[in-house]
Structure 1
């Protein structure tokens, strides 16, 4: 039977991740300190270093957790539509739903991306996690198109890159001008036509 510290480890890790998201969003990745994250979570530096080796590793754990949550919600929404009569507009509507909490994550991930652009090692690490997200998104989009009776005519991973760029670029504009461009509006307007132009009906 696991000992107490081993049993508590998932709770400690979860608390540190939650605190880190709050502190990073408030202060920025560069300005936030490990001490501030530990204070917010109610743990010691020892607890931090038993779970993460650095702020970068902590961010990447947040990145993976966020990616998994977004993809899980997308798959659940797609499954909720059933398999009959799916349209590209259905997918556009699904991906246009932006949770209000996404703003904090956008602040955090944008700053870390700038950090990675300046730091080759951080860029290499972030690229590996980005690749995992793209692979999962590629599979989800390809499966949806197949269920809708369509197939891509261009490289599927490049389509995933384009969809991510649309989302991130749209959110950047939305958070600056929310009255002019509500979050998710670009996806709602253009994902359907975009995928229609990059796919064709399946044959046979």
Structure 2
């Protein structure tokens, strides 16, 4: 049987991913070691290297898993908001809900972004993964506006970048001052106005 095709492999990979998220969040990407991740997962270094070549590769596996959850969640939100003007407010309200587990991913992804800024090759790969996620977000933003009877007047990719900036910038402030800015508050208050400002009613002049 070829290497990596055993029935245990998905379970091993999942355990390593879960352990990596915890260890990266606790110790930081740079400080975390493969040994610590393996110990947390209950596997050997051999199990690690049968699944991943480096810590960077492990991070990008975490990134893709998180992206898949984000896209699945956004698709569900778009289906839930309905097909009228208040849909934008409903979408913002749903999008503003931040799961408690999001804090760990925020810590890990933010630190890796700083690492990537200092390492051009890591930045290149991160940009590729970001672009794939952003393409999905762009399509969903166009869809939710379409359901609200509106057309997008700006580059959807740029709109997705702005939404990501709002999300990540807002979370940074919320995690520092949770009593002053609850997580998701910026999206809830300002996203409907933003979406109205970058779109026009289909068939109308405004």
TM category (shorter chain) comes to: over 0.9
Contact kept, 8 Å, 2:78 with 2:140, in 1: the verdict is no
Cα distance 1:54–1:202, how it changes in 2: closer, same or farther (>3 A)?
same
| Aligned positions of 1:104-123 closer than 5 A | 104-123=104-123
RMSD: 1.8
| Residue-by-residue CA offset, 1:30-62 (whole Å, 9 max, x unaligned) | 000000000000111111111111000000010
- The CA deviation at 1:79 is 1.6
Separation (CA, whole Å) in 2 of partners of 1:22 and 1:3 = 27
Does the C-alpha gap of structure 1 residues 182 and 41 become closer, same or farther in structure 2, counting only changes over 3 Å? same
- The CA distance in 2 between the partners of 1:77 and 1:156, in whole Å, is 18
TM-score w.r.t. length of structure 1: 0.95
- Moved >3 Å (runs of 4+): 1-5, 81-86
Cα deviation, residue 84, structure 1: 5.4
- Superposition pairs for residues 101-180 of structure 1, below 5 Å? 101-180=101-180
Separation in 1 of the partners of 2:171 and 2:148?
27
Does the 8 Å contact 1:86/1:147 carry over to 2? no
Work out the CA distance in 2 between the residues paired with 1:3 and 1:30.
29
TM-score calculated relative to the size of structure 2: 0.94
Q: Which residue of 2 aligns with 1:185?
A: 185
**SS state of the match for residue 168, structure 2?**
helix
Is the partner of 1:200 in helix, strand or coil? strand
Tell me, in whole angstroms, the C-alpha distance in 2 between the residues paired with 1:176 and 1:4.
42
